[in-house]
Structure formats: structure tokens, C-alpha cells
Amino acid sequence: MNKKRKLALITGVTGQDGSILADFLLKKNYIVHGVKRRSSSLNSTVRLDRIYQDKFIKNKSFYLHYGDVSDPSFCNRILGEVKPDELYHLAAQSHVAISYELPLYTASVNSLGTLNLLEAIRINNLNKKTKFYNAATSEMYGSLKGKYQNELTPFHPQSPYATSKLFSFWITKNYRDSYNLFASNGILFNHESFSRGETFVTKKITMFIAKYNHYKKGVLYLGNLSSKRDWGFADDYIIGIWKILQHSKPEDFVLSTGKSYSVRDFLKYAFACINIKIIFKGKKDKEIGIDSKTKKVLVKSIPYYYRPNEVTNLIGNNRKAKKVLNWTPKIKFKALVKLMVNEELKNFTPKK
């Protein structure tokens, strides 16, 4: 007998995680609906090119809808129309540094956007049908105080982004407890891939490496090279996100690798992939990275990219996800750097 295909709705489908998740769910035979914002350029759907299906194809598996999570009428309508089995809420103003420049906008999208979707589930009486995943974040913890951060660690958000996400975290829990909704938070530590947004540090570095490898010139301007993150591979984390909604009950989970490395470490391994040994001189916003052989300056730390209140270190303990969901990240830090650089080198096209 034919099993009924599951219906998923993804907000933030054009982003790194949304595009990888859409691909993953299609391979699992889901029917996938995604929300994309209207944009003046078609480039915003570039990450979806490999799975895009033309509007006029009958019985498609992948549908795109224009919408914005900060618009409650849209959220009510789309939930009423799609009636998904699983709603993956990934849409966000996701850049920490930009959240200092756009704090109200960030709160409106990240905090109220989440509430709009939860309300839309309730208003459409989907409490028993739709499972809700909220993309919470390790940024909610703020700088590491003990050995690691887990589901019991107190939160201490240090940016408008982190604070807006804390609202989304708690409102998800409130709706779970008040309305018996299957609503879970994933507290995800940094995860990267070739599809990472170009202004996040790993992608900024790996794109520079590909350019430098070709032109043999240029300087990469960065902020704080000492700050440390628990970096994993996005594809591993997408499996974790899916597993969170397949669990027998709604709960919150940390997804992390358990190891943290500095931006400087990332630079070292990334340059090593193109056979450059980089050495560092100076401190803080006077620090520079030099090619040990040619003595060319490759990297400069400048105040412009420093944040008003830097989260200095994050390390997650993923024991709960391991035990309850049987989830473990496969790709380790060095392999991640190599994978990102190699993909960048492969896709590099010089300007004519």
C-alpha cells in the first residue's frame, strides 16, 4: 500500500540550512513547500537551482511561495493552505554583527516572526497536526563560562540577534506547554558549508583563498582572530534538525561538535590547503597574518569588523542529542575547512 507522503513547510528555504534541508526532505520523499521573500533579483534562489521545479509541472514535489514571516496575515494564510505535517522555521536576520545595526528589524523578524507562525498554527487549529521546529542558537548562551554549554546552561545573550532568538526559544516552549503543541527548539552551534552566506567568517575566508590562489594578491580584512567557535558541517546538522521532529515528544536539543577553534586556526588550515604557511604577528586589531615564505601580508585584523560585545568562545555538549536522537556529527574541523576550500577552488571563476 502507498504510504501518504509527508508535507513539510520551510521558512528560510533560500538560506544555507533551508536549501540543504529542502534537498534532504525531497530525497526522503516529502512534498516540500518553501517560503521565499520577494527580491528585485532572481539570485536569491540560487541555492535552490538544483531542486527547482517549474511552476507548470503537474504533481510537483517542491513548491515556492512568496512571503515574509514578519507578516501575520501571510503566516495565517500559508499555514491554512499548506497544513504541513512539519514546519521548519529557519527564517531569520541571522547575522550577529548586522543585528547591532538593525536591532528593531532583527527583533521583528526573529522574535515576532516566530510568534506569528505559532499563532498561525493555533488559529488554523493545527495543534495536533503540525510539528514545529524553531532554529534557536548557541549565541543565546553568550561567552563560555564553564567547560561547555548544554541544555541546562543558563542563557546570557550578548547581542540583539541573540536576544531576539531567546524570545523565539521561550515562545516556542510557551506554546508547547500552553497549547500542547509539538514544538521543539534546536540550539545549534555554528555550522558551515559551501552554501554559507558570504559575510560569515568561514565563507569570507574560503572565498578569499580561492581568489588569492588565482591572482596571488590582495589582503583579507577581518575582525577578532582570537574568537573561538564550535564549528560543524551544515549537512550533519540538517540530519539533526530532522531527527528533532521525528522524536516521540517535543524537546529542546543542543547540536554541536564539542570542540572549538579560533578564527586564526581556521585561517591556518585554510591557507595550508593552498600550501601557504601563515604566521601571525601583533595583537588584537593590530594583528596581521603573513606568508612565511614570501612575507606578503595576507590578513589584517581591523576594528571595523569587531563587535560591540564579542562572544569570545562557544563549546557545545551534544550528549543529549547523541543519546536520545542517535545523532553525531561526522565531519571534524580540519575536514570541514578542507572541504570548504576545495569546493571554493573548484567553483572559482576568474573575472574577465
Q: What's the rounded Cα separation, in Å, for the pair 215 and 202?
A: 20
- Joined together, the cell numbers standing for residue 268 give 591556518
Active-site residue, 139 included: yes
Comparing every residue's Cβ against ligand NAP, the nearest one is 15
Cβ closer to ligand NAP: 94 or 158?
94
From the candidates 14, 130, 133, 139, give the one annotated as an active-site residue: 139
- Where would I find the beta strands (DSSP E) of the chain? 7-11, 31-36, 62-66, 86-89, 131-137, 183-188, 191-192, 220-222, 228-229, 232-233, 253-255, 261-262, 278-281, 288-291, 297-301
Site string for ligand GDD, 256-295 (x = CB under 6 A): -------x--------------------------------
Active-site residue, 86 included: no
Asked if residue 318 binds ligand GDD (CB under 6 A), the reply is no
Residue type, 81: E
Report which secondary-structure segment, H or E, holds 20: helix 16-27
Asked if residue 263 binds ligand NAP (CB under 6 A), the reply is no
Cβ closer to ligand GDD: 124 or 138?
138
Q: Binding partner of residue 35 among ligand GDD, ligand NAP, none, CB under 5 to 8 Å per kind?
A: ligand NAP
Backbone angles phi, psi at 105, to 5 degrees: -60, -45
Give the one residue of 310, 319, 320, 345 binding ligand GDD; rule: CB under 6 A: 310
Q: What's the rounded Cα separation, in Å, for the pair 268 and 261?
A: 11
| Chain centroid offset of residue 310 CA | 19
Asked if residue 253 binds ligand GDD (CB under 6 A), the reply is no
Asked if residue 48 binds ligand NAP (CB under 6 A), the reply is no
Asked if residue 138 binds ligand GDD (CB under 6 A), the reply is yes
Q: Binding partner of residue 227 among ligand NAP, ligand GDD, none, CB under 5 to 8 Å per kind?
A: ligand GDD
Nearest in space to 131 (alpha carbons), one of 83, 80, 170, 85: 85
Q: What's the rounded Cα separation, in Å, for the pair 231 and 228?
A: 9
- Residues near ligand NAP (CB under 6 A) are 11-12, 14-18, 35, 37, 39, 44, 68-70, 90-94, 109, 113, 135, 137, 188, 190-191, 197
- Residues near ligand GDD (CB under 6 A) are 94, 96-97, 137-139, 189-190, 199-201, 204, 222-224, 227, 229, 263, 305, 307, 310, 314
